[in-house]
Amino acid sequence: MLTETKPITQQAPAPKSPLLEKVLPHVELIAAGICGLLILTGWLLDHYHSEALSTISYILAFIIGGFAKAKEGIEETIENKALNVEMLMVFAAIGSAIIGYWTEGAVLIFIFAVSGALETYTMNKSHKEISALMNLQPEKAWKVMADGSVELIPVASLSINDRILIKPGERVPADGRILSGETAIDEAAITGESLPVTKNIADEVFAGTVNMSGSVTVEITKNADETLFQKIIALVQSAQSEKSPAQAFIEKFEGTYVKVVLAIVVIMMFLPHFVLGWSWNETFYRAMILLVVASPCALVASIMPATLSAISNGARNGILFKGGVHLENLAAVQAIAFDKTGTLTKGNPSVTDIYVKEGYKKETVLLYAASIENHSNHPLAKAIVESAAATIQKPLLAIANVQNSSGWGVTANIDGVEWKIGKADFVGASEAKSFHASIYDQLSLEGKTVVFIATNDEIIACIGLKDIVRKETQAAIQLLKDYQIHTLMLTGDSEKTAHAIAKESIVHEYIAECLPEQKVDHIKALKNRYGIVAMVGDGINDAPALATAQVGIAMGGGTDVALETADIVLMKNDLPKIAEAIKLSKRMNRIVKQNVVFSISVIMLLIISNLLQAVDLPFGVIGHEGSTILVILNSLRLLRS
């Protein structure tokens, strides 16, 4: 019943009048309405004994109401070389007319046209988010010329490394990096997050987002057709055209079922006359009713509208599904494995503790340490520099003679004093581990990395750093536990650090000192224990594990890599979205089951009623097509959040 979804292209549409643009999306519903009026006219003319005019009115109702579905059915039959439910409806309507049941045949066409219009509405509704996204990307941009002037040019003519000016209130025309200025960007079109994000120099901005406050100059980093925005559109389009296993089965089943129904209808045209003594008219009439009520319209429409609605709902909320199969599988997940860094944690270490020897000022020690560490690109060094910037209102010192001992620490000479910053073994293991009442052991048990500071071989301070667990992690894991889903953390960190993070994250279990290639083995072991398993990672070094799990979920954060590696992408690094995705998947599967059970029950009830001669053609038409409409309306509930 439902046709395959067609990709939306971004070609410029031919100019249309405003009236035509309003009418076109509803043309099938308008045709159904005209069909209904013609049926009413035909019935009134027949009532007043204008039989010829009544027949003409019914014929017009057949043509206007049935044209779209008849055309669709004929084209698909020729293309696939197999009959479909549309053709069954056409045969039933024509058969009804042949035996003089013009009203019943026309009513069948009318309700079939209404259900077809509703299907089209479902398709249009499911594509609405994509169409809305496509309309968000501006067609022109302010290009900054070599002499500093700005010129309004088409976005399509922008190239990588071009500079553009984005004014307050304007949409970002292309992916790029801020060269100057500061602003807040509304990234709802990308991440689903309604709160604006502050952007400074060197921060990335994405096409389709909105510049809320300040003017910024941006350097283009991607061509217009390669932006993250375009990739999201392509991904959702692809997802909507990909069939879930249940949908693929139903469509395969439909072809066989239609042939069986036609064969039984042919037998019904003759057998009851000879076996049960029915008149030829009654036999043919009952065969036509069987043709109507046995058609699997509602069954065929049980899955696709629900899948499309769920995918659209997810896309609107920053959850991108790469196909119905992943959406369907997610509801059956029994265990989820999490990468630690960047998934359960923020991915960047932060200073949590600073202990200074008596007689030294914390601010002074931190200022010197940050000034030295500013010469290093190590994540721990960056964390110390950021901590100093946030707590000390003084500029860093200019230090020229900093030496880096890779993997150990840094050394610098300041006013004749040798400073060492690094591991315990680098500054003096025994002294370090006994510093400040053995604070080293305490911080280590808390899963923190300890950096020591020494001057002339005297340890004067230590700094505790930790990759902070995301504030939403515990809530997200608890939501999964409420679904009876087992949670596992995979990390390359030491046993102590892994234990501390796992305890704080409230996951069921953890595996420490796990190399990237070992994650695949652990995922396989988890599959053997629990069956359907999901893996959550950052979409880069977790790609093998994401591919091994039945469902790979990437913490997107707006990255291209995440879009390419996982089955499901959380466009904002928001762990509770996983539980939302599971809830959406369970809702979809529940609605699909409701639709399938309901549609099969109605078909069986109508078939039995027909064999018992307890249902006439009008009621058979209403029961059959009405069930199709109810199934589609039930699926549309998934569009609501």
- Both tokens assigned to 380: 């721990």
Alpha carbons 301 and 325: distance in angstroms, whole number:
17
Sole residue written with tokens 């395969």? 252
- What is the phi-psi region of residue 456: left when phi exceeds 0, alpha when psi lies from -120 to 50, beta otherwise? left
Which helix (H) or strand (E) segment holds residue 263: the answer is helix 245-268
- Both tokens assigned to 148: 């500093």
Helices 576-611 and 617-636: crossing angle in degrees, nearest 10, is: 180
Residues recognised as catalytic: 339
Residue among 121, 100, 115 nearest 32 (CA): 115
Measured torsion, CA atoms of residues 391, 395, 401, 406, in degrees rounded to the nearest 10? 30
120, 466, 475 from 348: Cα distances, Å: 48, 8, 21
Tell me the three state secondary structure of residue 172: coil
- Both tokens assigned to 53: 């005019």
Alpha carbons 420 and 410: distance in angstroms, whole number:
6
Residue among 292, 293, 287, 284 nearest 264 (CA): 287
pLDDT at 18: 60
- Which residues have a Cβ under 8 Å from the Cβ of 81 and sit 6 or more positions away? none
pLDDT at 507: 94
Let me know: does 274 contact 559? Beta carbons within 8 Å. Answer: no
Let me know: does 471 contact 346? Beta carbons within 8 Å. Answer: no
10-residue averages of pLDDT along the chain (641 residues) = 42 50 70 88 85 89 85 79 73 79 81 75 59 65 89 88 90 90 79 70 86 89 75 60 63 75 86 85 84 81 84 83 83 92 82 89 91 83 89 84 80 88 81 74 81 88 87 92 93 80 92 79 92 82 79 73 73 86 93 93 91 82 83 86 66
Alpha carbons 528 and 300: distance in angstroms, whole number:
34
E-strand ranges in 561-605 read 568-570
Alpha carbons 393 and 154: distance in angstroms, whole number:
45
Sole residue written with tokens 């643009």? 21
Report the amino acid identity of residue 214: G
281, 301, 633 from 628: Cα distances, Å: 28, 7, 9
Alpha carbons 15 and 8: distance in angstroms, whole number:
17
Which helix (H) or strand (E) segment holds residue 163: the answer is strand 163-166
pLDDT at 585: 93
66, 102, 110, 418, 533 from 51: Cα distances, Å: 22, 11, 20, 111, 67
Let me know: does 356 contact 362? Beta carbons within 8 Å. Answer: yes
118, 285, 349 from 94: Cα distances, Å: 23, 12, 73
What is the maximum alpha-carbon separation in the chain? 117
pLDDT at 354: 92
pLDDT at 134: 56
Q: Give the strand pairing for 176-180 and 183-186.
A: unpaired
Let me know: does 245 contact 231? Beta carbons within 8 Å. Answer: no
Alpha carbons 3 and 305: distance in angstroms, whole number:
11
Q: Is 202 exposed, middle or buried (0-12, 13-18, 19+ CB in 10 A)?
A: exposed
CB neighbours of residue 20 within 10 Å: 10
Let me know: does 493 contact 513? Beta carbons within 8 Å. Answer: yes
pLDDT tens, position by position, 576-596: 999 999 999 999 999 999 999
Q: Give the strand pairing for 458-469 and 345-356.
A: antiparallel
Edge-to-edge order in the sheet of strand 319-321: 319-321, 568-570, 551-555, 533-537, 335-339, 486-490, 509-511
